[in-house]
Amino acid sequence: MWSDPIADMLTRIRNVAMARGREVKVPASRVKAGIAEVLKQEGYIQEYDRIDDGRQGILRIKLKYGRRGEPVLTEIKRISKPGRRDYRAVEDLPEVLNGLGIAIVSTSQGVLSDRQCRERHIGGEVLCTVC
């Protein structure tokens, strides 16, 4: 049993990116699909899809690499944890690498990037930062 399935997803992505793998499979959930959608919209992954396995399903995430084979996703860090949640107002959302990275935030309107949160003027739980 996992105590933090989101941290497990981020660790799997980080490990496959470091090993220069092309895709990673993680057990599916709505929050994980939301994180994958934000990563796709922001250009950190190529695509993702959901595979039905008769249980909860599997998310297959295809990673993106640069021209010289370097991973686009260089750092992914869990912020809010089960023992210490990190809720922020829109004014207090972290700015990752002075805007070069993103923070992924769980809001009342779904999982969004920090840029989308600032546009919609909503805060929420900061799940992770990506650069």
Element of type H or E holding 38: helix 30-41
Q: pLDDT digits over 84-96, tens only?
A: 999 999 999 999 9
pTM recorded for the entire structure: 0.96
Question: Cα-flanking dihedrals φ and ψ of residue 125, to 5°?
Answer: -90, 120
> Per-residue DSSP letters for 80-122?
SBTTB--EE-GGG---GGGGTSEEEEEETTEEEEHHHHHHHT-
Which of 25, 14, 9, 1 has its CA nearest to residue 111? 9
Question: In this structure, which CATH number among 3.40.640.10, 3.40.50.920, 3.30.1370.30, 3.40.50.620 belongs to the domain 5-130?
Answer: 3.30.1370.30
Q: pLDDT digits over 40-61, tens only?
A: 999 999 999 999 999 999 999 9
